[in-house]
Structures are given as structure tokens and as C-alpha cells.
Amino acid sequence: MNTKDENLIKVTTLISRLFDHIVIGVLPQDSPYKGFLSLHESFGLDEQGYWEWYAELFKTVLGIPGVKEKWSEDGIRKKIQELLAQLATAKIQSTPVAQFSIDFSVIAESWIAKINVEFGENVCYVPVLGLALAEPLSMDDVTFWPLEAKKQELKDRVRPELFDRLHPYTSCIASFAVRAEPQKSIEVLNDRVDTTLNFLRYISSLIWQDEPAIQMYVAGTDPTKIASSVVVEQNGSVSMFNNSSFNPLPFVLNPMNFQIAKSFGIEHLQVILSKTVRSPLEDSLLTAIRWFGDACKDPSPLYSFLKYYVSLEVLLKKKTEGAMHTVPVRVSTLLEQFDLAKRKRFNASAQTVIRERNSIFHSGKPEKETIDYLVWIARRLARNTIHELRYRILSEGFQTKDDVIGWVNAHKFVKNATR
């Protein structure tokens, strides 16, 4: 018996159970599920019908291969609502004897067919805050558009509030094509755009290396991160301060900044993202950049620090290796080949990051250093290591972590020299 047949049998059984537990007419106030066939005809499910059979049908349908990729959870709930209305109608219109002859397998097959559909391609758009462009930019299968260009194209087809709060110097529009139910399309869109923004968060950190992380968000997910604080001094005078934990400036990818971004490898990243088959190290590089970009936007300094550290470990450590014995020497050797004094400083910084990471894991707080310092140093180590390895993938053809480890082992004992 194949999976398709197994799913049909299971769904058929669950539908018959739901039919048995449908209640017609006056329902208790605390009924777990209520529906209406008309203004005068209501139906519902009893406790077992809802908490056992409804829940099991919902889980089963989402477990059918391909369904999660095409349907949102709300979309599946609506399909179950339609099914329950169909079952309630059948229960009202048939006698108790006739109900025994209802072929639930036919109902199940027809219902599954309505879910197992091939959707056409939806082109989805969402505003992005904190990123402004002079020209369209494609990364992977997401395209970022200058705000005014898409505003003119879409203004007669969408409601004007799509562009509320947006300004061409601080915002843009992202698009992504999805073959899914409309609500699922938006969920996929938001996730893919935010993931892609991680690469631009990384690139912006290379362009403005000494500045706080520039914030870029899918509209609707952006925290203000600004608050006012008041100090009342002993003499009664009052001072007010605006607190901000982020760089308020947008990432403006104008021609000059794009040239700088090219020097930091944005075009190489575009090539890697477009590949259908990547090397293991290329996959690790993309994962590290996603962790790095997520750290840039995390409102918690503690979690931001941990994510910056994870981006280091993703690139430099195998699962079976200990961090303290591997990451510091690999970071320091990659970042400094000639000046051993500088290399020792990098090594010591990486050891501090790992020691404090361990302290946070076990006690919830750093042992010696402030969390702001740890964010600062982990961000720089991670950013520079990602950049160095991306360059060596391009220039020396690194394919795996073993290539990185072999290169480090060949260079870690180089005598002190001057470039």
C-alpha cells in the first residue's frame, strides 16, 4: 500500500468520526467548535469531536507530503470548516438509517483533491524598512526594488496603505514568486525576504565596520528600539535622554556604496546563492551569514552575542571537536598570517568569547566581560572570518572545512614576518 492510499484511509476514518460527533441545533455556550449553515441553522462538535478527531485530521493533513509547502495552517482550517459544513448538511438531510450508507471514502477523496492542487505562481510584494536602492537588486530568488518604481507600478492595483510610513530614502519593496495558497505565499515571502536581508546586514557591516548594526526589516516586524529616559537630579533639575540601541541610518545601496559592496564580495554571494548545487563550505558560509544577519537585528544583546558566535562555529568547527581547542587558533590564523603578536590577540579574544559563551550557557550571564563588549568583539571576529573564508573559497577553491583546517595547520606555525 502506498502513502497516498494510507492517507486516504486515515482521512476517511477521521471524517467518519467527525460526522459521528457533529451536533446539530442548540449548542452549549462552551462548545469547542461552532458553525452556521444559515442564519437559523447552527452546528458544532462535541468535546471529543473537536479535541480528538478535529485535531487529528488537522495534524494528518499537514503531514501529507507537499501540503505544508503550499498551505498555511489557517488555510487548512478553512478547508476543514468547509468539510464540517458539508458533513453537517449531510447529517441534517439524511435519516439515521441512511447515514449508515454514506460513503466517507468518496467524501475524503474529493476533499483531499481540493487540497492537493497545483497553485499558479503568485508574485508577492512586501515593504522593507531600512534599505534604499537606486537600482533593483536580486539575491537568490528575492528582488529588492526602488520604492518609487514599484509605487508607480502598483498604485492603481493596491490599497494606498501599503506605502504608509515608506520613504524612498529609507525604504524599498521586495518581491518573491511563490506557488502556494495566498496566505501561505505571504508567510513564505516574509521568511525569504528576512533571510535574504541577512546577507545585506552582513555586507553593510563590512562597509560601516565601526558603526552599530544597520537595521533592515520586513515591514511589520520592526521594533522601534527608541525610548525616552528621565533623570531627576538631587537639586530637582530634570534631564531627558533618548535611548537607542541601533544605527538609525538606512542602508542606502547607491552606485558608490554598491561599488564598495562589490569589493566586499556581494556579487560572489549572489553567485553562490543562485547555485543549485553548492560545496559543503559554501553551504556553511551561507548558514554563517544567516546567523550573523540574525544577530544584527536581535534586540537582546545576549542573544545577539550568542548568534555571532554560532556564525563562527558553523564555519570553523566540526561537530565532534571542542570549541576552545579549535576555534581560537583557526580564527587567529585566518585573520593574521604574518604578525604573531596580532595573531595572539585574536586568539585571546576568541578564547574570551568561548569562555563567556560557556558562562552564559551555564549561569545566564558573562563571567568577567560586559555583554556590550562581547557583542562588539564577537561581531568583529565573525564578520572578518566570514569575509576571509568567502575570499578563500573564491581565490583558493576551498570546498570543505577540511580544506580550511588543512590551510590553518599549514600556516599556524609561520614565523613572525612583515608583510
pLDDT tens digits for range 222-274:
776 566 677 777 777 777 666 555 666 889 999 999 999 999 999 999 999 99
- Collapsing DSSP states into helix, strand and coil, what is residue 226? strand
Q: What distances in angstroms separate CA 69 from CA 4, 6, 196, one per listed residue? A: 17, 20, 19
- The confidence band for 153, taking pLDDT boundaries of 50, 70 and 90, is confident
- Tell me the average pLDDT across 17-28: 87
pLDDT surpasses 50 at 282: yes
pLDDT surpasses 90 at 157: no
Q: What is this structure's pTM?
A: 0.84
- Cell numbers standing for residue 297: 537585528
Phi–psi pair at 299, nearest 5 degrees = -70, -15
Residue type, 360: I
Question: In this structure, are residues 374 and 386 in contact, taking their beta carbons and an 8 Å threshold?
Answer: no
Q: Which residue has 460527533 as its cell numbers?
A: 21
CA–CA separation, 180 vs 294, rounded Å? 26
- Cell numbers standing for residue 129: 524598512
pLDDT surpasses 60 at 91: yes
Among the residue ranges 137-146, 183-192, 216-225, the one predicted with the least confidence is 216-225
- Collapsing DSSP states into helix, strand and coil, what is residue 139? strand
CA–CA separation, 140 vs 17, rounded Å? 46
- Tell me the average pLDDT across 374-384: 95
CA–CA separation, 28 vs 49, rounded Å? 14
- Compute and round to an integer the Cα radius of gyration of the chain: 28
Phi–psi pair at 64, nearest 5 degrees = -70, 130
% of the chain beyond a pLDDT of 70: 94
Q: What distances in angstroms separate CA 107 from CA 58, 91, 409, one per listed residue? A: 16, 13, 65
